[in-house]
Amino acid sequence: MARTAPSAHAPEAGYLTPATQPDATQYLPPPPQAGSARQAADDHAFESTRGLKGGARWALATSDADLRIEALLRSFSCAAGFTIDASKAPRLAALIHRMDVSEIPDMRNAKASWHRARPFVGNTQSICTEDDRSHLATSGAYPSGHTLLGWSTALVLAELLPDRSTEILQRGRVFGESRIVCGVHWASDVLEGYMTGAGDIAAMHGNPAFRADLDAARTELEGLRHEAPKPNPQACTIEHDAAVHSPL
């Protein structure tokens, strides 16, 4: 599921300005070329994950495709050790939303620059979000925007909950890998999505408003973690298995 539709009113302000927005087209390598070792690795990852259709990992990839803030934060509940309910963490939700607003220009610029075709284009292989097939077929693959936001969220949550940083970063990796399992991104799209997310978050730290919002979200999360219910153990087992069996 896509991000929340942009407002018809004036554009929302992000944490980055044209002067501070990193340009992924300048620091990322170009997508793999046909016949290269990188493309062969991408082909293998796509083909080998088609057999996951219908299983628990496929279902997780389908769930991870939902980029609504409430779904995105909930997906990190097992990693955090408590259920992250966006309705009970409005400052955190606002932070993640504004991060997303900040990152969209860089993502769209990079996708438009390379306009790489997605792995399912030109074949009939299954993807986990069939309803989005037509839309995704016209959208550039490189780098992965889902991975960018997922990894950015993981970096921020790891900073806010440092005692859970290992688990949170692991879940951020799995979140990106879900795009490979889903069949809508090449492995290299995902790898460079991690890099793009890290670059944008690093630049955001130069903004005092971002740092202030981080502090507010930290205080909010510390209160929530002591009263929020524990996450579903079965869901946590599936996520752990996904981490152990990486498609990369």
Any catalytic annotation for residue 131? no
DSSP state of 245: S
Q: Which residue among 42, 106, 189, 213 is the active-site one?
A: 189
Is 3 considered catalytic here? no
One of 116, 179, 200, 213 is an active-site residue; which one?
179
Taking each continuous run of H as one helix and of E as one strand, the counts in the chain are 12, 0
Residue 100: both structure tokens together? 């997303």
The residue type at 11: P
CB 210 within 8 A of CB 15: yes
Residue 8 neighbours by CB under 8 Å, 6+ apart: none
Longest CA span, the chain: 54
* Pair 209, 15: CB distance under 8 Å: yes
Whether residue 240 lies in the annotated active site: no
Return the axis-axis angle of helices 208-224 and 90-114, rounded to nearest 10°.
Answer: 130
- Selected catalytic residue, list 146, 164, 171, 173: 146
Cβ pair 84, 228 in contact under 8 A: yes
Q: How far apart are CA 80 and CA 78, in angstroms?
A: 5
Q: Can 189 be counted among the known catalytic residues?
A: yes
| Residues tagged active-site | 146, 179, 185, 189
